[in-house]
Amino acid sequence: MKKIQNYIDGELIAPLGALYIDNYNPASGKVYSLIPDSDEKDVQLACDAALKAFPIWSKVTKESRSWIMMRIADLIDKNHEKLARAESVDNGKPIQLARTVDIPRAAANFRFYATGILHLSSDANSMEDTALNYTLNEPAGVAGCISPWNLPLYLFTWKIAPALAAGCTVVAKPSEITPMTAYLLSELCIEAGLPPGVLNIVHGYGHKVGAAITAHPDIPLISFTGGTKTGAEIARVASPLFKKLSLELGGKNPNIIFADCDFEQMLKTTMHSSFSNQGEICLCGSRIFVERPLYEKFKKAFVAKARELKAGDPSDEATRHGAIVSIQHKEKILSYVELAKKEGGTILCGGYEVKLSGELSEGWYIEPTVIEGLPYDCRTNQEEIFGPVVTLMPFDTEEEVLGYANSTQYGLAGIIWTQNLTRAHKMAQQLQSGIIWINCWLLRDLRTPFGGLKKSGLGREGGFEALRFFTEPKNICIKLN
């Protein structure tokens, strides 16, 4: 059975405690590899390596940093199929999704920041003939990057790529649930010639490795993507240490559909925004609000489409709905379906675990689930489920649906479907979300900032915002006379 290793100081090494964690294939429910059960000693070893490498890497020319990062991107492309299959096995996502989204985006993240660092500029301000002020954006030090399990390599690279480009060294922790592609990336970094200690990957549990990274006095920046509860704990520990934080947390996103929308385009995209990656994307539109004149037509068509979406073997080229990432998460999702029933909801389709045959008989699958008849402020409509479960609710006015949409503690993303340009802009301005899609979903320009409002996070990732997060501005004033 394959044993994943930590990547510290340029080498692949076993955890110091020689302990390992079972790594499951969600499609079969069986253990297929082992990952390091690392602790604070391994984090200290990684931090020592990052601290040693920082004075050198931070002074490497931006052209040289860019070249190495482009080399890593090329190697991701070269190993595209291997990485896609590893992601599908580790996460349970359809191989088609891993091929077309996860792995291409991982390479794109490296390329974007490899080229972006070449164009990052500093400000200069003249005080007429008195003085000249200019700003240097200097690498901030060792960055702690903690990534989630739903888009493993995609989001892992979205954190480490800007950190490396900015001149920081990194101690990173991928999710213990989906560690395989981060491990494979460490092999590619060695092949690409990334200097020892620049990137260090420590595998293990969040309460051991993640907590040690968060509390380490020599790691001044923490970039975390995950649950709001964990983000709050990171902020509690890191804030008194005056660490710089970027927290991309949960979402309970509204999908607002007006009667004047392009129905066919809306229906096709709403299927994706509801059930892509088994609904395990923080940007999924899990609360669907439909203007009343369109409600019954939409409900009939949407439920029919949802019933056609069958859970299947993630490695099958035809599968579009794969396995749930873990047995614990499967049970959580099903518990919310039961809660919805108790709260008065009607299950229009789905709501059950799916049992496949043969080698996949013990895998973790849930039918796409559509629920109606729930009040907007019930727990099912207020708490993040993070699975293939959506709720439907009709509305009559813009004011009414804005109240529904903005009622949760979250404010990550929102979707609006309308052909009325004035309405689209007006609604977008009033939605309490950091990201708004109008007549589309998950259309991302890497130059734009990404993040949420309220309990959906702190700070912004993406674009030059991310490069600046990993730097500290230093103002220099020169008196001219």
Residue from 181, 182, 145, 180 nearest 162 by CA = 145
Q: Quote the CA–CA distance of 244 and 156 in Å, as a whole number.
A: 18
Residue from 329, 260, 324 nearest 298 by CA = 260
68 Cβ contact partners less than 8 Å away, ≥ 6 residues apart: 192, 193, 194
64 Cβ contact partners less than 8 Å away, ≥ 6 residues apart: none
Q: Quote the CA–CA distance of 479 and 86 in Å, as a whole number.
A: 58
Collapsing DSSP to helix, strand or coil, 204 comes out as coil
What are the C-alpha distances in Å from 370 to residues 77, 132, 466? 37, 62, 37
Residue from 120, 117, 103, 10 nearest 70 by CA = 117
Q: What would the two tokens of residue 141 be?
A: 């030090």
What are the C-alpha distances in Å from 294 to residues 45, 137, 157, 371, 401? 59, 52, 41, 17, 14
Phi and psi, residue 172, nearest 5°: -120, 145
SS3 content of the chain, % helix, strand, coil (to 5): 40, 25, 35
Residue from 461, 415, 455 nearest 438 by CA = 415
Burial of 399 (0-12, 13-18, 19+ CB in 10 A): exposed
Sequence-ordered alpha helix ranges (H) in 228-262: 228-238
Kindly write down the DSSP assignment for every residue of 104-146, as one continuous string.
HHHHHHHHHHHHHTTS----EEEETTTEEEEEEEEE-SEEEEE
Collapsing DSSP to helix, strand or coil, 171 comes out as strand
Q: Quote the CA–CA distance of 79 and 375 in Å, as a whole number.
A: 48
Active-site residues, by number, are 248, 282
399 Cβ contact partners less than 8 Å away, ≥ 6 residues apart: none
Q: What would the two tokens of residue 85 be?
A: 């299959």
Burial of 447 (0-12, 13-18, 19+ CB in 10 A): exposed
Q: Quote the CA–CA distance of 415 and 436 in Å, as a whole number.
A: 6
